A and B are shown apart, each in its own frame.
With several copies, the nearest count.
Chain A
């Protein structure tokens, strides 16, 4: 049986701009986890009952550890409480959940926007693990302002930077980044806000290459039971028998062709 795992906090680091990085000791969950999957993270606040879905930023299979990088969305938000956790404290998680990135191309372009950046790190590492050279893994990152996780990305991939403010890399979004840096590849892998994903889909169409995108929606169960988190699909879905797929169970990673954004 799969169970909620009580994970111990190994370390917590503030990246600035309300973004935090949390390393958790979670051997059971880490065992089978891979890029693009997420965990349901529970608060210790009994007025906030629903789990927060957070993508895996890194998986350390060897030591049974997970890294989550997340944004605090408000002073009373559940994520605010996560940000106060310190070494040795515990937090309940359920996972790994959903289907991650499963089609690995030979010359991938990874696109991360905002808080969609962290899951690209584990993906880049998995590509590297498949034997791809740094030159063959392009990562285009779109920050709001200041960069984070750069060292980690640069170890395994060729990194191109963009930002809304212009303070990091070129001023613009990740699509601007692809164009201005003239980044080439055979498939797009993206995580970020919906407008970005729409642009990624259009870019893939224009280039005639596939795009794998990670979607977000408000969730209750995270395991495919409540039908809270659906996304519209182009065709009738085989499971739901309607034009809906569940992001938590059938995704969160979809082929951009499948879904209506």
Chain B
């Protein structure tokens, strides 16, 4: 009997596959491309206490084996999110993870407080978006700040919290320990790596923001390494992501130590990729006579 269920901080998902924040909208946009009920969880686009306009365009650049984005966390704010996007997701048979962003600690807490009484399963705290100049970025690369923000969020949160880690650091294990010491119930990684593309014909940055976050298959080896390091440094469940586009990629993250996996950029070029990944994991388990993912998690 194959059982694909996993457990993130007491929340059971029917399978280990979610989507990465910012790559699936609030789910609605993908409703006609993929059966959302088949996903273990949906992670929403980052939401702040007020609407954010995001960065000027161009916000997107294609690079070898991946992309850069500098969307800058455009979002409609928590009120619209709660009245429009949440009800849509609540009708689906999947777990809901709300990704939270802010410029300051206070803004994070406003969102966390507002979600206290909403039917939401997990909160993912994005302390690592490289496109926001204030607050966010400093939290994400300084272990002390990360520890502090985690403690504060944990005090307010009614749901288990996932701290999302930035890969743009010297020592990812240190960051993981700082978050877990602060009370993180789970960790997700990696967010995007800071990159740049220059248009040499026009002598201009391709992105209006100059730099953007690198994502897609190009980053996978870095992400797998970091998940492995974090899994050996702390004892909370990990949601692994970075370049996943096949079930084989997902299994690689699970073997590195991830409990769940998240598909990001691949949604943009294969809108039903998540269904394929869910099915492919099941096939792999069948082929290898694996009953539970516990058998292969962190197996090396």
Contact = CB atoms under 8 A, between A and B. Distances in A.
Interface in B1-48: 22-25, 29-30, 32-35, 45
B110 to A, nearest CB: 16
Interface string A22-56: 00000000000000000000100011111100000
Nearest to A217: B57
A85 interface: no
Contacts of B269: 42, 49-51
Given A229-B57, A239-B76, A224 B29 contact: yes
Contacts of B64: 46-47
Interface in B65-83: 65-67, 69, 71, 74, 76-77, 80
Contacts of A199: none
Contacts, number: 117
B67 A240 contact: no
Interface string A173-189: 00000000000000000
Contact of A230 (B29, B30, B57): B57
B46 to A, nearest CB: 10
Contacts of A219: 60
Interface residues of A, number: 35
B58 interface: yes
A225 interface: yes
SS of B interface (majority): loop
Given A49-B265, A94-B271, A242-B74, A229 B60 contact: yes
A198 interface: no
SS of A interface (majority): loop
Contacts of B34: 1
A218 B59 contact: yes
B33 A3 contact: yes
Given A218-B57, A220-B60, A226-B268, 13 more contacts: A47-B217, A49-B62, A51-B268, A220-B67, A225-B30, A226-B60, A226-B71, A227-B54, A227-B74, A228-B60, A228-B69, A242-B53, A244-B54
19 contacts: A1-B34, A50-B60, A50-B62, A50-B268, A217-B57, A218-B58, A220-B69, A221-B23, A223-B30, A223-B33, A226-B23, A227-B25, A227-B54, A228-B57, A228-B59, A228-B69, A229-B59, A240-B76, A242-B74
Interface of B: 22-25, 29-30, 32-35, 45, 51-54, 57-62, 64-67, 69, 71, 74, 76-77, 80, 216-217, 246, 248, 265, 267-272
